[in-house]
């Protein structure tokens, strides 16, 4: 079976995810408008997976639409059966499966969907079929009018939303695939709401397409394993914690174990400025140093599958943690105060008194921003194993 993937973004994960479920011949291509007619006239494929850029453009070239593509008016999967092209919208299968697997209730709930012009109508239909009340659109007055009834938000695109407007909010779903946690999801997490990114929906969409291609239901656990593997490959490991808590040592251990590149933010700051950390504090004081630190973190916000070790004070700027969490899981390396030690290379913790004061100030911030607290009071091997286990969950 020859499967094609139509995508306009060369960095998209369509090909990589599809390889989990299809080991036969495949090709990936962008499809210029001038070549669309001839491509579908030649029909030299058995099936297609279609990215958002083409979901509506290829509708005229279908001979048939199944019910999902019909009411969504968008095609993300095409099957060529003896020259007859049938279009499907497997994204709706993926969305529905995701709601069931994650046990996200929508029945008798008001679900607000931002409108991306491609997927919203189909997702609204799924919500209705499951007994929910979908409301779609981006008009500020409309959002204000429905805010007090909304329990679930499904966002496509980059629309800004103030979650504080929604007093009954339970769950936030952001359809962004490649950022594991958007700014919106970070805000939902800090409000103790359920928060989900788009990767799991996307994987289930590709899984559903391959079920159609192969004419059978594939192992549903394969979708779960694909999600875990994509996180293992692409999610950054971000280490935060007090000075001398072991971040640098753990970075080296994890880089060797996982064969991944790593970034030491303090080293990046020194490279960027040409000054040592103590020299920077002397020249610019802490405020100036924190600005440079934030610039370096912003420059690394799109790193893919790396280990990032941060300076102890990174948690003093909330924006730093939002950037780091977009593509990373944040681990707090927690070591007992009596096992920490002052250092002349760290201007704010060069005595035991200053270290103790810093520990009391920062501990609540580490607790606030960490996804996982890792006890680093025993062996380094035990700490590394705890981090690796958390990465696969």
What's the confidence (pLDDT) of residue 276?
92
Number of neighbouring beta carbons within 10 Å of residue 218: 16
Instruction: State the distance between the two ends of the chain, measured CA to CA, in whole angstroms.
Output: 33
Report how far apart, in Å, the C-alpha atoms of 6 and of each of 32, 117, 140, 213 are. 10, 19, 35, 16
Checking if the pLDDT of 348 tops 80, the result is no
Dump strand ranges (E) for 139-284: 150-155, 171-174, 194-196, 236-240, 262-264
What's phi and psi for 247, nearest 5 deg? -65, -45
Per-residue pLDDT reduced to its tens digit, 260-271: 999 999 999 999
DSSP, collapsed to helix, strand or coil, labels residue 273 as helix
Per-residue pLDDT reduced to its tens digit, 49-102: 999 999 999 999 999 999 999 989 999 999 999 999 999 999 999 999 999 999
Mark out the alpha helices in 235-317 (DSSP H runs): 247-258, 265-273, 277-299
- Residue 60 and residue 175: Cα distance in Å, rounded? 26
Checking if the pLDDT of 343 tops 80, the result is no
Per-residue pLDDT reduced to its tens digit, 6-48: 999 887 899 999 999 998 889 999 999 999 999 999 999 999 9
CA dihedral over 370, 161, 304, 286, signed as positive or negative: negative
Q: Would you say 241 and 260 are in contact if contact means Cβ atoms under 8 Å apart?
A: no
Q: Please identify which residue in the block is written with the tokens 């509708």.
A: 59
What domains lie within the chain, and their CATH numbers?
3-88 (3.40.50.10860), 93-201 (3.40.50.720), 235-392 (3.40.50.300)
pLDDT > 90: what percent of the chain? 83
């Amino acid at each position: 079976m020859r499967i094609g993937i139509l995508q306009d973004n060369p960095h998209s994960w369509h090909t990589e995810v599809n390889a989990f479920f299809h080991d036969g011949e495949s090709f990936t291509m962008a499809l210029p408008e001038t070549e669309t007619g001839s491509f579908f006239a030649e029909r030299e494929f058995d099936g297609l997976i279609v990215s958002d850029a083409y979901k509506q453009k290829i509708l005229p070239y279908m001979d048939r639409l199944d019910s999902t593509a019909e009411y969504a008016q968008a095609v993300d999967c095409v099957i060529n059966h003896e020259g007859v092209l049938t279009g499907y919208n497997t994204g709706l299968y993926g969305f529905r499966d995701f709601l069931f697997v994650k046990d996200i209730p929508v029945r008798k709930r008001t679900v607000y969907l931002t409108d991306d012009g491609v997927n919203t109508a189909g997702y609204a239909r799924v919500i209705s079929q499951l007994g929910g009340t979908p409301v779609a659109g981006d008009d500020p007055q409309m959002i204000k009018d429905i805010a007090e009834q909304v329990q679930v938000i499904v966002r496509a695109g980059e629309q800004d939303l103030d979650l504080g407007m929604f007093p009954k909010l339970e769950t936030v779903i952001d359809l962004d695939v490649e950022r594991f946690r958007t700014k919106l999801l970070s805000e939902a997490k800090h409000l103790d709401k359920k928060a989900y990114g788009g990767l799991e929906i996307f994987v289930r969409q590709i899984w559903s397409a391959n079920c159609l291609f192969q004419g059978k239901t594939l192992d549903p656990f394969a979708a779960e394993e694909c999600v875990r593997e994509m996180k293992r490959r692409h999610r950054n490991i971000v280490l935060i914690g007090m000075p001398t808590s072991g971040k640098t040592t753990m970075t080296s251990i994890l880089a060797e174990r996982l064969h991944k590149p790593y970034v030491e933010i303090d080293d990046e700051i020194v490279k960027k400025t040409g000054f040592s950390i103590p020299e920077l504090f002397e020249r610019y004081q802490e405020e100036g140093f924190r600005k440079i630190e934030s610039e370096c973190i912003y420059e690394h916000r799109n790193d893919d599958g790396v280990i990032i070790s941060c300076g102890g004070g990174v948690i003093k700027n909330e924006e730093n943690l939002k950037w780091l969490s977009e593509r990373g899981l944040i681990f707090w390396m927690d070591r007992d105060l009596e096992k920490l030690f002052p250092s002349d290379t760290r201007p704010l913790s060069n005595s035991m008194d200053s270290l103790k004061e810093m520990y009391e100030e920062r501990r609540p911030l580490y607790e606030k921003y960490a996804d996982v607290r890792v006890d680093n009071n025993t062996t380094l091997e035990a700490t590394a194993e705890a981090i690796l286990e958390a990465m696969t969950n």
